[in-house]
């Protein structure tokens, strides 16, 4: 009986390993076929050093916009953007622009390494589902999507209208017209925001259910005194996690201070 159980156990383990390998091979085939554009690549390693953000910190990431031929991402302290040239396995980044925030020495050091890797990149390859940036045979950085699906697919494309924000002190803020307060997440990691009388833009990142939003540009129209523009933008930039329920988008704010609700 014991021998039979051992045989069954080893058989199940063997089958599990086969299925796991088949899934990994299928994932690698999909990536090889679709290329590197359209995915959110999370940074695992740069300059030979593993990247492990502290709890609550954003993980640096990189996205390629195939239509604009523009790379966007987060380098550890600042958001960045710049052109790129992709030809088969050849890859070269153009000059990179970024926001101008100052962070701790540790984050600034990481950012320096990220920009250095981008500047030196001349090729790429996929190995075990990991994107490897290369200069000749030198490995500059390793990045992963985290899963086989594009991990921002739940929220992209839809123009989400702000229904209300419910704060943990029971205060509820409701816009008079939800169509005046909207956010649209694009597949390339950028977003479009309508905040009453102003149009805004920026970037976002999704890692599992964690959501981070940065507003980097805005028109400068003077909205009415009763406008909720500032409240709306403060909420978006305080995003921590999100979930979809009954077709509505919910964004929980940092420090568990409240929840924004959106409909489409």
Tens-digit pLDDT profile for residues 44-77: 999 998 887 765 577 899 999 888 899 999 999 9
Residues of the chain with confidence (pLDDT) below 50: 2-33, 147-150
Q: How far apart are CA 161 and CA 243, in angstroms?
A: 15
pTM of the model: 0.52
Predicted pLDDT of residue 26: 41
In the chain the first and final C-alpha atoms are separated, in Å, by 59
Predicted pLDDT of residue 111: 95
Report whether 205 contacts 223 (CB < 8 A). no
Domains of the chain, CATH where assigned: 35-144 (2.40.128.270), 159-263 (2.40.128.270)
Q: How far apart are CA 24 and CA 125, in angstroms?
A: 16
Report whether 74 contacts 107 (CB < 8 A). no
Q: SS3 of 97, please?
A: strand
């Amino acid at each position: 009986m014991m021998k039979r159980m051992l045989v069954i156990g080893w058989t199940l383990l063997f089958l599990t390993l086969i299925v796991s390998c088949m899934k990994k091979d299928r994932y690698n085939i999909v990536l090889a076929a679709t290329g590197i554009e359209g995915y959110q690549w999370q940074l695992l390693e740069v300059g030979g050093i593993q990247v492990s953000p502290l709890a609550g910190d954003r993980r640096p990431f990189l996205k390629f916009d195939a239509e604009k031929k523009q790379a966007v991402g987060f380098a550890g302290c600042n958001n960045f953007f710049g052109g790129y040239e992709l030809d088969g396995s050849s890859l070269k980044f153009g000059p990179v622009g970024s926001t101008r925030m100052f962070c701790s020495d540790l984050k600034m050091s990481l950012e320096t390494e990220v920009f250095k890797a981008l500047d030196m990149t001349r090729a790429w390859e996929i190995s075990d589902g990991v994107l490897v940036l290369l200069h000749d045979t030198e490995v500059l950085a390793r990045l992963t999507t985290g899963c086989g699906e594009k991990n921002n697919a739940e929220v992209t494309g839809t123009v989400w209208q702000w229904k209300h924000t419910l704060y943990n002190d029971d205060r509820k803020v409701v816009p008079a017209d939800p169509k005046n307060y909207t956010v649209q997440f694009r597949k390339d990691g950028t977003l479009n925001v309508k905040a009453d009388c102003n149009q805004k833009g920026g970037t976002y990142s999704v890692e599992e259910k964690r959501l981070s939003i940065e507003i980097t540009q805005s028109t400068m129209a003077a909205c009415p005194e009763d406008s909720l523009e500032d409240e709306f933008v403060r909420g978006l930039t305080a995003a921590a996690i999100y979930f979809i329920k009954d077709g509505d988008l919910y964004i929980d704010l940092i420090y568990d201070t409240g929840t924004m609700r959106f409909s489409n």
